[in-house]
Amino acid sequence: MTSNNSSNKQSYFLVCSGILLLTFIIYVSSVFFDFEQQVFLSWGMVLLALFIKTFIPNNLALKRIVIIFLCLFLTLRYWFFRTFDTLFFNAPIDIIFIAALYIAESYGILTYLLGVFVNIHPCERKLIKADLDDPALPTVDVFIPTYNEPAEIILTAATASINMKYPKDKLNVYILDDGGTLEKRNSPDPAVAEKARRRHEDLKAMASFLNIGYITRERNLHAKAGNITNALASNTKGELTLILDCDHNPSRDLLINTVAYFMKDEKLFLVQTPHFFINPDPIEKNLGTFREIPAEGELFFGAIQKGLDFWNSSFFCGSAAVIRRKYLEEIGGIATDTITEDAETSLMLHAKGYNSVYVDRPMICGLAPETFSDFILQHTRWATGMLQILLLKNPLFQRGLKFYQRLGYLNSCIYWLFGYARVIFMLAPMAYLFFGANVYNATISQVMTYAIPHMVAAIILTDYLYGRVRHTFVSELYETVQSFFVMPVLTRALLKPRSPKFMVTPKGTTLSSDFASPLAFPFYLLFFASVAAYPVALWRWHNNPLQQHGIIGCLIWVTFNFIMLLLCLGIVWEKRQIRTKHRIPVDKEAVLSAPLRGIKHNVRVFDISESGLGLTTEERLDLSLGDDILIDVADSYGNKYKFRMKITRSVPTEKGHIIGCEFLSTNDNTASDIIGFLYGDSEIFNRFWERRRERSAGIWKGMGYLFIKGVTGTFNHFGGLSMQLYNLLTNKRRSYGSDQGLGQDKNERDGSVVHGPVHNSDTFNPDLVQSNRSGNTEGTAH
């Protein structure tokens, strides 16, 4: 870690020197440059930054420094102009609107500057592999905390954990059951007690069947954090602890690629790895972007965590992380003062002088929330927890943290305040057009000289720093669609920072039909208000000729917001989702054999799931639906698999044959093999991310792409609503409850949402493991 600390100090010196130089240049330009020179300065620097970004090779280290310097100069110059030249008021009411917008802008600039600081030099670590024959290898406990998830999800994670490559005498896997605690089994509600007792016995049976540990506790104190801390004190003795959410399935090489870092650095407390999701989140699903652009988490795991790692500030993300046990015990286990126990735990251990490492290789495969409501539940929990950390354990004043670590944690905490800023940005131009409120004091020439160059420079720098993992304006979209739900939750947390409670995010949700999310209402209001803003602007144009420049500016602003709202309406139109076995695109060679037809042919596997494979050939094969076939295939480690399968889809094409097949349950075709082939090979996850990142659209194409998705999403939304209204009025509405409404509780029926795969059982039966895993055809992807 010495060389890294040395680099930190050098970068810290460069950052401080750069800030001083920028401040001096801004002062000189503001005092000695006339307006015409200001115009040439601003747009000249924009063009220079764009030229360097486009034409200078990326392998030149100076390129990054120059682009950052140019773009930050324009941003700080704009903020100085905004602060000293625009904050004057013509009426008392103006104070509210002008101050609100100024604070929102200043917040945005602060998070932008902190983000640039964090990512000034992302840490690109070389993978260090552990020698499995080394007798000094530490012992490892794998903790799989669970609360109310279906047994099948837990079984998959436990099986994948057993499959990891590591000496078996040094590896112990435990299911941590918080759904079958003594408190729940003795609940005064008979239904709750019976469900807890059944779950307790089922998971104990599962653990016994898999020959792994089972741990529960008396009371459900402190949610997931308390569950893990209880396990540390429950006769588990591993030197390292791998923590996995129960829907996170580890690859075979996870421990090989993480344990060696602990052997090199005695003060290392954490190795965090990325979270890869096999299914689209509701934004990707409803807009249809899953295989086309990087996912939301890739910005954090593909850029921000690497930037934090350079500053020795990468933090625990709740799962897919290995932690040194003795340092956890030193602080009494997982922290419990906030509902983001992961980041809070890291903060405490960093403050004690311990180190962290981020390994940028996805080695777990998990489930993202399926519905927009579940997505908001998850993200508001993160937002609330990070605000709690800011209020209860402010990193700026946390003893033991280095200066750069304070800034790293501050950035992670205040980022979640974006809800307030986004709402202000959405409402400010409407306040001017509808009510004549003065929100911004500047002439059109000042806007073109200061504001627009700053915004263009920010887009250029953001695309340069994060373009491979985040397309243009996608961050604005994710923030906008969350803002109206994050803001009230954060307001409650500000008033009572110790009151929020941990809420489990539902996973494996299925949707029987398309429908409007219950959270769509704010976007309807804003959509129609935005539409109404155009005729109102036309009226103001004719009646207030002296305000025409301001009207034009606000119309441009409203139009940008309107495009975001189109996308939001596409997002809150929940699309049907009945698939319970999600597919991952791959490209693997295999051999197909059909002994009864005398066929043996080379094929390519183009996607895989827990239920089957998708195959392609360059020749048409004499195969029919229902035929039994054998598939011989290997993973990237050279492990060979033979699967007996049944053809469920056969489509001859001009270029060959597309074949869909499902796994059959035989003695030679175990659930462990299927899980090992699907989840055991981390190269599958890595290549999937790389393929999405290779499709970087650039700034202009990215904007056009989002506009098309927004128009399509809104058309689908209102078209779907119209069809539902038509069906209702003509008494031809499809019955949502005919197949699944009976016997469900109210929460399951609302919105036609079924929590948990419809065919899954919450109970565990070892005799049904293989048939549940490999014989099910519902939602077959192939």
Which residue is it, tokens 């800030």? 19
CA atoms of 364 and 160, how far apart (whole Å): 10
Please tell me what DSSP assigns to residue 575. P
- The torsion defined by the Cα of 516, 519, 520 and 523, in degrees rounded to 10, comes to -170
- Residue 736: name the closest of 515, 576, 573, 512 by CA: 512
Measured distance CA(154)–CA(199) in Å, rounded: 12
Give the HSE-up count for residue 84: Cα atoms under 13 Å, Cβ half-sphere.
11
DSSP 755: S
Catalytic residue among 202, 342, 673, 681: 342
CA gap 399, 96 in Å, rounded = 37
Opening angle at CA 45, ends 43 and 49, nearest 5 = 120
Q: Which of 178, 245, 281, 607 is catalytic?
A: 178
Distance CA 398, CA 400 (A): 6
Residue 335 identity: A
Q: Can 463 be counted among the known catalytic residues?
A: no
User: How many CA atoms lie within 13 Å of 718's alpha carbon, on the beta-carbon side?
Assistant: 12
Are the beta carbons of 609 and 582 closer than 8 angstroms?
Answer: yes
> What dihedral do alpha carbons 24, 25, 28, 34 form, nearest 10°?
-160
- Nearest-angstrom CA–CA distance, 202 and 198: 6
Sheet with strand 268-272: strands edge to edge: 213-215, 171-177, 140-146, 240-243, 321-324, 268-272, 355-358
The total number of residues shown for the chain amounts to 782
* Residue 134 annotated among the catalytic residues of the structure: no
Phi, psi of 12 (to 5 degrees): -60, -40
Q: Which amino acid is at 717?
A: H
Burial of residue 589, with CB atoms counted within 10 A of its CB: 0-12 exposed, 13-18 middle, 19 or more buried: exposed
Please, what is the end-to-end C-alpha distance for the chain in angstroms?
Answer: 48
C-alpha Rg value of the chain to the nearest Å = 28
731-760 burial, b for 16+ CB within 10 Å, e for fewer?
Answer: eeeeeeeeeeeeeeeeebeebbbbbbbeeb
Crossing angle for the helix pair 2-32 and 61-85, nearest 10 degrees?
A: 40
Number of neighbours of residue 602 by Cβ within 10 angstroms: 11
Q: In sequence order, what are the beta bridge partners of 358?
A: 272
CA 759/CA 781 separation, integer angstroms:
15
Consecutive H or E run containing 256: none
CB 520 within 8 A of CB 528: no
Residue 414: burial class (beta carbons within 10 Å; 0-12, 13-18, 19+):
middle
Catalytic sites, residue numbers: 178, 342
